[in-house]
Amino acid sequence: MSTNLDQVRAREAANLMHTYGRQPAAFMSGTGVWLMDVDGRRYLDALSGLAVTVLGHAHPAVTQAVATQAATLVHTSNLYFTEPQIALAERLAAITGWSDARTFFCNSGAEANEAALKLARLHGKRRHPDAIEVVALSGGFHGRTLGTLLATGNPAKHRPFAPLGEWVTHVPHDDAAALDAAVGPLTSAVLIEIVQGEGGVVPLPGNVLRAARDACDRVGALLIVDEVQTGVGRLGSWFGWQSALDGVPVQPDVVSLAKGLANGLPIGAVIARGEAAKVFEPGDHATTFGGGPVVCAAALAVLDVIEREGLLERAVQAGARISSAVTDLAGRHPLVSGVRGRGLLQAVTLHAPRAGEVTAAALDAGLMVNAVAPDAVRLAPPLIISDDEIAALIDRLDRALEAVERKETA
């Protein structure tokens, strides 16, 4: 076992493909919102493993659920029934509020979005053999499989793997008229995020969400809401679409989930209602590991804790506290222009493209955040974060900003 960061780096460089530009920290344990590295230093995790560990690290309810299920039944494949998978699908139907909901389980957000796109194409082809086109938004991120990569609204991510096809049209994230004009008879789906996480923590304007629903209804296409990053309570409701328009939700036809659903274990889900729920038939889509007993048991524990401890409401309260504190920082730091986002998915916005420097300085100060855009630093702490821990987060962020600004004037 490696005993320091240099040893970890050497072993990683010799044995792993170089797909990640890692930050200089190697973690060995975690409890709640805190992580411990191999050198014995503690960090406040304000990133939650990219919006994943909604209950923090080593949550006892999840630990117990996983241990109990792992000692009972780990895997059978989807050739057979298992109780945790059915129970989780029932629970997801309940929190969507859809009495006719049906769920497909997979292993990640990219897989969930890939499945949702395949479902939409099958649905569209029933209307017209060529109705396979998708409208998505510039700045959106939906995964790195070939289909979800094409749907991702970032041309720079497309170029290394082009050509990817021409069945996705991207429109500006804030242009309702452009979205409406792009949807036509051959559109199978409109794919959106309520808040564009990887796109810089950019909330979707309400009129664009309404336009997406209206356009889909006009041609018979499906509205797919990607809740991979925003679902499971992060925005202050089970799903972002449930509170997206000042308490007046726009109902999607299909929702994709992953990240926070099992607090770090690999799970993805596609939930559909109405005719969309009936599209897949045996043989149309499948997965070996998706919806296995252990990850479903973990997900059930996550949903139980969020409900029992009132963490939806807590996400709203904690988010407001963080937003207010960052606004105060903007008054003291010339680098900070403001804050945007919802609930516990927020971004500190900057006047200059120095988010990478702020992220590095924050790590030096014992705070984990990330540069989600050149001029935006993402904050996505666990839903369990306390007021004292928020104060510690802001104090460390304050010191990081000061260090970057001091470097500029040196």
Cis peptide before 163 (omega within 30 of 0): yes
Rounded to an integer, what distance in angstroms lies between the CA atom of residue 318 and that of residue 390? 8
State the pLDDT at residue 103.
Answer: 98
Q: Identify the H or E element spanning 36.
A: strand 34-37
Q: What is the mean pLDDT of the chain?
A: 96
Q: 217 and 83, same structural domain?
A: yes
State the pLDDT at residue 245.
Answer: 64
**CATH number reported for the structural domain that contains residue 38 in this entry:** 3.90.1150.10
Q: 84 and 36, same structural domain?
A: no
Q: 221 and 370, same structural domain?
A: no
Residues linked to residue 279 through DSSP beta bridges, in sequence order: none
State the pLDDT at residue 407.
Answer: 87
**DSSP class of residue 275?**
G
**CATH number reported for the structural domain that contains residue 191 in this entry:** 3.40.640.10
Rounded to an integer, what distance in angstroms lies between the CA atom of residue 66 and that of residue 332? 45
Rounded to an integer, what distance in angstroms lies between the CA atom of residue 187 and that of residue 123? 10
| 236 belongs to a structural domain | yes
Q: What is the pLDDT along the chain (410 residues), one digit of tens a residue?
A: 667 899 999 999 999 999 999 999 999 999 999 999 999 999 999 999 999 999 999 999 999 999 999 999 999 999 999 999 999 999 999 999 999 999 999 999 999 999 999 999 999 999 999 999 999 999 999 999 999 999 999 999 999 999 999 999 999 999 999 999 999 999 999 999 999 999 999 999 999 999 999 999 999 999 999 999 999 999 999 999 998 666 567 899 999 999 999 999 999 999 999 999 999 999 999 999 999 999 999 999 999 999 999 999 999 999 999 999 999 999 999 999 999 999 999 999 999 999 999 999 999 999 999 999 999 999 999 999 999 999 999 999 999 999 999 987 76
Which domain range does residue 361 map to? 5-59+310-409
Q: 217 and 86, same structural domain?
A: yes
| pTM as predicted | 0.96
Q: For the chain, what is the radius of gyration of the CA atoms?
A: 21
Token readout for 77 is 């494949």
